[in-house]
Amino acid sequence: MLLLPPSEGKTPAPDGAAPLDMDSLVHPELTERREQVLADLARVSARPDATTALGVSEGLADEVARNTALREAPSGPAATVYTGVLYAAAGLATLPDGAAQRAQASVLTFSGLWGVVAPGDRIPAYRLSMGVGLPDVGRLATFWKPALAEVLDARAAGDVVVDCRSATYVAAWKPRTTGDGATEWVEVRVLRETDGKRTVVSHNAKHTRGVLAGHLLRREPEARTCEDVLKAAQELVGSVVLTEIGSGRDQTLIEANLLDGRPRGPRTLELVLA
């Protein structure tokens, strides 16, 4: 399983595309909760203080206004609606057939509105963060947590979970690493080495995680353990992961390490750029 955060910005589907079919989304067991959030979001988005309530700037008022009519809005594959840095680097929308089928079976994007969606699930563009609280359903991570545990604990059992999410989305579901149905859980951390000193990377980390995600989906054989994930990451060592805008400086992956985690927590895959 490969867990991704949504991109903050969303690209609307073309006019005339079919509207949302809630029952077609992955894990239809979540439909009732999706309906609750959708209705609550529409009400909040129609308020004069909608941008404040949703924690976004006034400049995003038009995107918030779209939330009032999501049932009728054109929908497109999640892989094309989510278009941030991570998604561009992974190339989810342009995977070859075999990798695209693997992505549909293994990739889950976490969402404050949908809970989780697969790359091929057709959704409208929306604006809602998992960190928001809505009047009727409350804090979204708390609202989604029991339902996601019910469906994802069983799905993840015996597998390896590669986690590219931010803390806001991790709060909605944490894989079980002990007991019956345990899974191997690997979080991805990106560091930069400068003059022998290593620091945590923020913005470029999204791109680097995307490169790793795309590689995991395209390579054979499929990763089944933490060690397989490490091996896949080490295959990228020596390659240019990104070129910085402005400076034009290449960032090369120089090292990949798998660190032990705290009890009941994830192991950490460290990717070092220089």
Token pair recorded at residue 2: 């490969």
> Please, what is the average pLDDT of the chain?
96
pLDDT band at 1 (very low <50, low <70, confident <90, very high): very high
Angle CA 108–110–111, to nearest 5: 135
Residue with tokens 């402005």: 246
Model confidence, pTM:
0.96
Q: Which tens digits make up the pLDDT trace of 81-105?
A: 999 999 999 999 999 999 999 999 9
Q: What is the pLDDT of residue 247?
A: 83
Residue reference for tokens 């790793």? 212
What are the pLDDT digits (tens) for 148-202? Answer: 999 999 999 999 999 999 999 999 999 999 988 899 999 999 999 999 999 998 8
Residue 23: band (very low, low, confident or very high) from pLDDT cuts 50, 70, 90 = very high
125 pLDDT higher than 80: yes
pLDDT for 233: 98
Convert the pLDDT of each residue in 36-67 to its tens digit.
999 999 999 999 999 999 999 999 999 999 99
Residue 18 reports pLDDT greater than 80 = yes
User: 164 near 213, Cβ under 8 Å?
Assistant: yes
The Cα 117–Cα 216 span in angstroms is: 19
pLDDT of 245 over the 90 cut: no
Residue 106 pLDDT > 80? yes
Q: Inform me whether the pLDDT recorded for 236 exceeds 90.
A: yes
Per-domain boundaries in the chain: 2-273
The pLDDT of residue 244:
83
pLDDT at 94: 95
